[in-house]
A = this chain, B = another copy of it.
Amino acid sequence: MKNSLYIVIVGCGRLGAHLANQLSRDGNSVVVIDRDETTFNHLSSGFSGFRIGGDATQMAVLQQAKLKKADIFIATTHEDNVNLMVAQVARKIFRVPHVLARVFDPKREEVYAHLGIDTICPTSVAADIFLRAIANGAAETEGSRS
Protein backbone atom coordinates (compact mmCIF):
# COMPACT_ATOMS: atom_id res chain seq x y z
CA MET A 1 0.00 0.00 0.00
CA LYS A 2 2.55 2.59 -1.12
CA ASN A 3 0.28 5.09 -2.88
CA SER A 4 -2.48 6.95 -1.12
CA LEU A 5 -5.88 5.32 -1.56
CA TYR A 6 -9.35 6.87 -1.41
CA ILE A 7 -11.26 4.87 1.19
CA VAL A 8 -14.91 5.23 2.25
CA ILE A 9 -15.98 3.66 5.54
CA VAL A 10 -19.61 3.30 6.60
CA GLY A 11 -20.12 3.07 10.35
CA CYS A 12 -17.96 4.86 12.89
CA GLY A 13 -18.33 2.49 15.82
CA ARG A 14 -15.31 0.89 17.41
CA LEU A 15 -14.32 -1.08 14.31
CA GLY A 16 -15.03 1.64 11.75
CA ALA A 17 -13.20 4.27 13.78
CA HIS A 18 -10.24 1.97 14.43
CA LEU A 19 -9.90 1.36 10.68
CA ALA A 20 -10.41 5.05 9.83
CA ASN A 21 -7.76 6.16 12.31
CA GLN A 22 -5.25 3.58 11.12
CA LEU A 23 -5.85 4.08 7.39
CA SER A 24 -5.71 7.87 7.76
CA ARG A 25 -2.46 7.57 9.75
CA ASP A 26 -1.08 5.45 6.89
CA GLY A 27 -1.53 8.41 4.55
CA ASN A 28 -4.77 7.45 2.80
CA SER A 29 -7.71 9.76 2.07
CA VAL A 30 -10.50 8.49 4.29
CA VAL A 31 -14.19 9.43 4.41
CA VAL A 32 -16.30 8.13 7.29
CA ILE A 33 -20.10 8.04 7.12
CA ASP A 34 -22.38 7.51 10.12
CA ARG A 35 -26.02 8.41 10.82
CA ASP A 36 -25.06 9.17 14.40
CA GLU A 37 -22.57 12.04 14.45
CA THR A 38 -21.67 11.41 18.10
CA THR A 39 -19.78 8.32 16.91
CA PHE A 40 -17.22 10.64 15.33
CA ASN A 41 -15.88 11.04 18.87
CA HIS A 42 -14.23 7.66 18.29
CA LEU A 43 -11.94 9.25 15.71
CA SER A 44 -8.50 10.19 16.99
CA SER A 45 -7.20 13.75 16.94
CA GLY A 46 -4.79 12.67 14.20
CA PHE A 47 -7.62 11.64 11.84
CA SER A 48 -7.25 13.87 8.80
CA GLY A 49 -10.16 12.55 6.72
CA PHE A 50 -13.75 13.70 6.20
CA ARG A 51 -16.81 12.95 8.32
CA ILE A 52 -20.27 12.76 6.79
CA GLY A 53 -23.26 12.64 9.14
CA GLY A 54 -25.90 10.81 7.11
CA ASP A 55 -27.59 7.56 6.18
CA ALA A 56 -25.39 5.56 3.81
CA THR A 57 -28.41 3.71 2.45
CA GLN A 58 -29.32 7.00 0.71
CA MET A 59 -27.69 7.43 -2.70
CA ALA A 60 -27.21 11.16 -2.10
CA VAL A 61 -25.02 10.43 0.89
CA LEU A 62 -22.87 7.98 -1.07
CA GLN A 63 -22.57 10.52 -3.88
CA GLN A 64 -21.55 13.16 -1.36
CA ALA A 65 -18.79 10.75 -0.27
CA LYS A 66 -17.62 10.64 -3.93
CA LEU A 67 -17.98 6.89 -4.01
CA LYS A 68 -17.16 6.78 -7.73
CA LYS A 69 -13.61 7.83 -6.89
CA ALA A 70 -13.20 5.25 -4.12
CA ASP A 71 -10.56 2.55 -4.31
CA ILE A 72 -11.90 0.77 -1.25
CA PHE A 73 -15.30 0.68 0.45
CA ILE A 74 -15.79 -0.81 3.92
CA ALA A 75 -19.17 -1.44 5.58
CA THR A 76 -18.87 -1.80 9.36
CA THR A 77 -22.30 -0.95 10.79
CA HIS A 78 -23.89 -3.20 13.39
CA GLU A 79 -26.62 -4.29 10.99
CA ASP A 80 -25.88 -7.05 8.50
CA ASN A 81 -28.69 -5.90 6.21
CA VAL A 82 -27.30 -2.38 6.00
CA ASN A 83 -23.79 -3.67 5.36
CA LEU A 84 -25.04 -6.01 2.65
CA MET A 85 -27.09 -3.33 0.96
CA VAL A 86 -24.49 -0.54 0.92
CA ALA A 87 -21.71 -2.96 -0.05
CA GLN A 88 -23.79 -4.12 -3.01
CA VAL A 89 -24.49 -0.55 -4.10
CA ALA A 90 -20.79 0.30 -3.81
CA ARG A 91 -19.81 -2.76 -5.87
CA LYS A 92 -22.52 -2.78 -8.54
CA ILE A 93 -23.49 0.86 -9.03
CA PHE A 94 -20.36 2.80 -8.08
CA ARG A 95 -18.04 0.01 -9.25
CA VAL A 96 -15.70 0.33 -6.30
CA PRO A 97 -12.93 -2.20 -7.03
CA HIS A 98 -12.50 -3.49 -3.48
CA VAL A 99 -15.49 -3.85 -1.16
CA LEU A 100 -15.36 -5.32 2.33
CA ALA A 101 -18.15 -5.84 4.83
CA ARG A 102 -18.51 -6.93 8.40
CA VAL A 103 -21.09 -9.68 8.76
CA PHE A 104 -22.34 -10.89 12.14
CA ASP A 105 -24.28 -13.86 10.86
CA PRO A 106 -21.75 -16.32 9.41
CA LYS A 107 -24.50 -17.88 7.27
CA ARG A 108 -24.55 -14.73 5.17
CA GLU A 109 -20.90 -14.95 4.17
CA GLU A 110 -21.71 -17.12 1.19
CA VAL A 111 -24.19 -14.58 -0.21
CA TYR A 112 -21.60 -11.83 0.03
CA ALA A 113 -18.95 -13.96 -1.71
CA HIS A 114 -21.31 -14.44 -4.66
CA LEU A 115 -21.64 -10.67 -4.92
CA GLY A 116 -17.88 -10.11 -5.02
CA ILE A 117 -17.79 -8.70 -1.50
CA ASP A 118 -15.11 -9.74 0.99
CA THR A 119 -16.52 -10.38 4.43
CA ILE A 120 -15.26 -10.83 7.90
CA CYS A 121 -17.30 -12.26 10.76
CA PRO A 122 -15.91 -11.01 14.09
CA THR A 123 -17.90 -13.60 16.05
CA SER A 124 -16.34 -16.53 14.15
CA VAL A 125 -12.89 -15.01 14.39
CA ALA A 126 -13.22 -14.33 18.12
CA ALA A 127 -14.67 -17.80 18.74
CA ASP A 128 -11.80 -19.46 16.89
CA ILE A 129 -9.27 -17.58 19.00
CA PHE A 130 -11.07 -18.47 22.24
CA LEU A 131 -11.27 -22.13 21.20
CA ARG A 132 -7.55 -22.19 20.36
CA ALA A 133 -6.70 -20.59 23.71
CA ILE A 134 -8.87 -23.19 25.46
CA ALA A 135 -7.25 -26.05 23.55
CA ASN A 136 -3.79 -24.75 24.44
CA GLY A 137 -4.70 -24.20 28.08
CA ALA A 138 -6.53 -27.49 28.46
CA ALA A 139 -3.37 -29.56 28.77
CA GLU A 140 -2.23 -27.57 31.83
CA THR A 141 -5.74 -27.53 33.22
CA GLU A 142 -6.12 -31.28 32.95
CA GLY A 143 -2.74 -31.76 34.64
CA SER A 144 -3.70 -29.67 37.64
CA ARG A 145 -7.24 -30.99 38.04
CA SER A 146 -7.27 -34.69 37.28
Q: Which A residues fall within an 8 A CB radius of B? A: 1-3, 5, 7, 14-15, 18-19, 22-23, 71-72, 74, 97-98, 100, 102, 104, 118, 120, 122-127, 129-131, 133-135, 137-138, 140-142, 144-146
Q: Are A137 and B72 in contact (CB under 8 A)?
A: yes
In this complex, the member of A22, A23, A71 whose beta carbon has the largest number of chain B beta carbons within 10 angstroms is A71
Known contacts: A98-B140, A102-B126. The answer to whether A134 contacts B23 by CB under 8 A is: yes
How many copies of this chain does the complex contain?
A: 2
Which residues of B are found within 8 Å of A14, using beta-carbon distances? 104, 123
Chief secondary structure at chain A's binding surface: helix
Q: Are A5 and B120 in contact (CB under 8 A)?
A: no
Q: Are A100 and B144 in contact (CB under 8 A)?
A: no
**Extra pairs beyond A14-B123, A98-B137 (6, CB < 8 Å):** A15-B126, A15-B127, A18-B127, A98-B140, A100-B130, A120-B126
Q: Are B3 and A146 in contact (CB under 8 A)?
A: yes
Which residues of B are found within 8 Å of A145, using beta-carbon distances? 71, 97
Q: Are A100 and B15 in contact (CB under 8 A)?
A: no
Across the A-B interface, the 3 shortest Cβ-Cβ residue pairs: A1-B138, A122-B126, A98-B137
22 contacts between A and B (CB under 8 A): A1-B138, A15-B127, A15-B130, A18-B127, A19-B131, A22-B127, A22-B131, A71-B141, A72-B134, A72-B137, A74-B130, A97-B140, A98-B138, A98-B141, A100-B134, A102-B126, A122-B122, A122-B125, A122-B126, A125-B125, A125-B126, A125-B129
